[in-house]
């Protein structure tokens, strides 16, 4: 059911919280400022937005816990557009490439073993600021620190079984989508709904 309740006016305390969130978001999203403007797609009659895509993957523990539907539901309710999805048993060499930067970390062997333990579900989601917003939606890497309301905060309690992956920068997302999907696999589709003025050029 839709939540039509009226939001309370910001009190000074709440306002500073909101400003803090805005600041945090700015810091988290700051890499976006350096992305070439190739992705910018002007809209007619609506606000312009960057046609951004990101890779989100439900890890094997998320599949085992039957959380794929919950994840899709959260991203759809946010308004993002699902343009690619597949279940796969991740090959070790692709996982090694994906987590190359972490290869010297003590937890790396356990990480690869965990992600190889069963199938995962890889998805490509599209929408304005989808990279940064997805990171906020999945929550802190360490599930113990992930806020309630985030996917990791709600469904997991340990960093080594944190349910979900999401790209952490626009450039990283482009690389990761190419790594996990063939170029013809993600399918763009027209938006006919109430968000059409935001999505169509
Ligand atoms: N990880 C772990 N122990 C750690 C740090 C990370 O098992 O101390 C795992 C965890 O599954 C995490 C993944 O390694 O999601 C990749 O780490 P990263 O720092 O990239 O975090 P993420 O981008 O997933 O939030
Ligand atoms: Mg990461």
Give the residue carrying structure tokens 């700015």: 26
Residue 165 annotated among the catalytic residues of the structure: yes
Distance 188 CA to ligand 2 centre (A): 25
Tell me the pLDDT of the chain averaged across its residues: 82
User: Tens digits of per-residue pLDDT, 2-57?
Assistant: 343 334 444 444 444 444 444 544 455 544 433 433 343 433 455 556 679 999 99
> What are 83's two structure tokens?
């343009």
Confidence of residue 103 (pLDDT cuts 50, 70, 90): very high
pLDDT the model gives residue 198: 63
State residue 192's pLDDT score.
76
> Which is more confidently placed, 15 or 177?
177
Tell me which residues have their CB within 5 A of the ion that is ligand 2. 168
- 98, 100, 165, 194: the active-site residue: 165
Which secondary-structure segment (H or E) carries 198? helix 196-199
Which residue, by CA, sits nearest to atom 21 of ligand 1? Answer: 141
Q: How far is ligand 2, taken at its centre, from the CA of residue 168, in Å?
A: 6
Q: Whole-model pTM?
A: 0.80
Give me ligand 1 centre to Cα 190, in Å.
35
Confidence (pLDDT) at 162:
98
Q: How confident is the model at residue 73 (pLDDT cuts 50, 70, 90)?
A: very high
Q: What is the DSSP track for 109-139? A: HHHHHHHTSS-EEEEEEESTTHHHHHHHHH-
């Amino acid at each position: 059911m839709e939540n039509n309740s009226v939001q309370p006016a910001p009190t000074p305390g709440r306002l500073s919280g909101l400003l803090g969130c805005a600041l945090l978001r700015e810091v988290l999203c700051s890499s976006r400022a350096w992305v070439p403007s190739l992705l910018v797609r002007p809209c007619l009659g609506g606000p312009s937005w960057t046609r951004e895509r990101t890779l989100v993957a439900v890890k094997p523990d998320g599949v085992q816990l039957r959380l794929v539907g919950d994840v899709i539901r959260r991203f759809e309710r946010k308004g993002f557009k699902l343009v690619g999805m597949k279940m796969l048993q991740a090959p070790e060499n692709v996982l090694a490439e994906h987590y190359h930067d972490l290869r010297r970390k003590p937890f790396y062997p356990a990480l690869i073993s965990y992600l190889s333990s069963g199938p995962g579900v890889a998805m490509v989601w599209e929408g304005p600021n989808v990279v940064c917003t997805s990171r906020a939606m999945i929550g802190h890497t360490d599930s113990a620190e992930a806020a309630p309301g985030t996917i990791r905060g709600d469904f997991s309690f340990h960093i080594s079984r944190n349910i979900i992956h999401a790209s952490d920068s626009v450039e990283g997302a482009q690389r990761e989508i190419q790594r996990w999907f063939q170029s013809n696999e993600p399918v763009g589709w027209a938006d006919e709904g109430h968000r059409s003025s935001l999505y169509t050029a």
